[in-house]
Amino acid sequence: MSKLTRSGKLTEVEIKTAMREVRVALLEADVNFLVVKEFVKRVSELATGDAVMQSLTPGQHVIKIVHEELTKLLGEVNEKLTVSSKPPTIYMMVGLQGAGKTTFCGKLAHMLKGQGKRVLLVACDIYRPAAIQQLKVVGKTAGVEVYEEGQKNPVQIVKNAIKHAAKANLDTIIIDTAGRLHINNELMHELTEIKVLAQPHEILLTVDAMTGQDAVNVATEFNQRLDITGILLTKLDGDTRGGAALSIRQVTGKPIKFSGIGEKIGDIEPFHPDRIANRILGMADVLTIIDKAKDALSESEMKAMEQKMLKASFTLEDFLAQFDNMKKMGNMDDILAQLGPLMGGNTKALGKIDDATLARNKAIIQSMTVKERRNPDLLKASRKQRIAAGSGTTIQEVNALLKQFEQSKVMMKNLKNMGKRGMRGLM
């Protein structure tokens, strides 16, 4: 697309060349070829319109069209979970073995509990070895009750679980159903029986985003057999850009409601089509990072940090506090990957930021006196030697931390010079 933005006016030949590259990029991202064909056709028609051809910045206009069409393809807005007006609300989780269904049950339960719901997990996967034990483990991590009756009939287990939820005053039930390595009639018959009995408010299909084209076949089959209401995408982190998301949404017509972005219990987020479109196009996903920051920081902490940024009064004590906040936000490699486009892809300038690095940097700052933290200019050779010994690190690692801190101060100064208008633009 960068080639288009340098053009004064676009010709049909240029648009065809650009669309050929879009087609290849989407196919490489495992988007279904029929979806790609229809998408490219639609964008080509819009891109060759008079409004674009006469535009002073036609390249940017084409990029805007591609982004808008991607967002439409993904569903435009995040669709929330259905909540019953008369408790309990029942969510039935379905999917193949290995897609991460049981883990996602725990993530969903943890998220709903955080919203004030009283959640019950129901163990109905009586076939896979240790499936019930796995659900107990994720339930304990999520801090919710798990209902199980061992290897009994799954339909009867669901019936008893609903009665138990009513007695225990629990308002949300999540049923972890059995999966198979492939779709078969025996599996579908059992799931249909559970659906008829439980009358779930949502039937949520868990799909592994990394399975590419096969994810579309799985979603289509489950939708035809059970009439699912929504999709949960797992493993939408790392290098997975979301090609499966495009295909599944278009082929099934059912919304993607949540995505799993890591292995921890809190690594779940609402599926925002516009943000995934940014990600597919290699744009920075700043809004998702802001949401994570809001979860990690209180309103007062955010306002205090904004004032420090404007006044450029950032100290090593603030730097220390930020390490804890960063850990709350989740996997820093994923966050840096989302910020990469804003930094021209140069996230390496920030250095390696993992749990071990954060722990080491915290130890270094905690080995300083309060006076040293507030006035780093005091840190000469002898003090650095003492700090390195106290934190179990080297003088080189102490110097590296101080260099990162100075770079942060330069960034703060630049933000101050930008003023409020510039800061709004940055956000």
Please write the tens of the pLDDT for every residue from 297-355.
Answer: 666 766 776 666 666 567 888 888 777 776 666 666 666 655 555 555 544 545 556 67
Query: What letter would DSSP give residue 377?
Result: G
The CATH fold assigned to 2-74 is: Four Helix Bundle (Hemerythrin (Met), subunit A) (1.20.120)
What band does 427 get if pLDDT is binned at 50, 70 and 90?
very low
**Range with the poorest average pLDDT among 9-13, 57-61, 417-421:** 417-421
- Asked if pLDDT for residue 425 goes beyond 50, the answer is no
Distance between CA atoms of residues 42 and 277, nearest Å:
16
When mean pLDDT is compared over 31-45, 90-104, 261-275, the highest value belongs to 90-104
Read off the pLDDT of each residue in 205-209 and give the average, rounded to a whole number: 87
Q: What is the pLDDT of residue 56?
A: 57
Distance between CA atoms of residues 424 and 404, nearest Å:
25
170: helix, strand or coil: coil
**Range with the poorest average pLDDT among 187-191, 246-250, 278-282:** 278-282
9: helix, strand or coil: coil
The 10s digit of each residue's pLDDT in 144-172 is 999 999 989 999 999 999 999 999 999 99
Q: What are the CA-CA distances from residue 253 to residues 68, 190, 256 (Å)?
A: 18, 25, 10
- Asked if pLDDT for residue 18 goes beyond 90, the answer is no
242: helix, strand or coil: coil
What band does 7 get if pLDDT is binned at 50, 70 and 90?
low
Nearest to 175 by CA among 201, 142, 143, 209: 201
Question: Whole-model pTM?
Answer: 0.66
What band does 212 get if pLDDT is binned at 50, 70 and 90?
low
What values do phi and psi take at 326, rounded to 5?
A: -65, -40
Read off the pLDDT of each residue in 389-395 and give the average, rounded to a whole number: 93
CA atoms within 13 A on the CB side of 152: 13
What pairing do the DSSP bridges indicate for beta strands 256-260 and 268-270?
A: antiparallel
Q: Domain boundaries in the chain? A: 2-74, 89-281, 288-426
Task: Give yes or no for a contact between 316 and 370, defined as CB atoms under 8 angstroms apart.
Answer: no
Task: Give the CATH number of domain 89-281.
Answer: 3.40.50.300
Runs of H (alpha helix) within 94-184: 101-114, 131-142, 154-167
Distance between CA atoms of residues 268 and 332, nearest Å:
15
- Architecture of domain 288-426 in this structure: Orthogonal Bundle (1.10)
Q: What are the CA-CA distances from residue 280 to residues 102, 200, 247 (Å)?
A: 27, 33, 13
Runs of H (alpha helix) within 330-394: 332-339, 355-366, 370-374, 381-391
Distance between CA atoms of residues 20 and 313, nearest Å:
51
Task: Give yes or no for a contact between 75 and 272, defined as CB atoms under 8 angstroms apart.
Answer: no
Distance between CA atoms of residues 427 and 425, nearest Å:
5
Nearest to 211 by CA among 22, 32, 23: 32
Chain mean pLDDT for the chain = 81
190: helix, strand or coil: helix
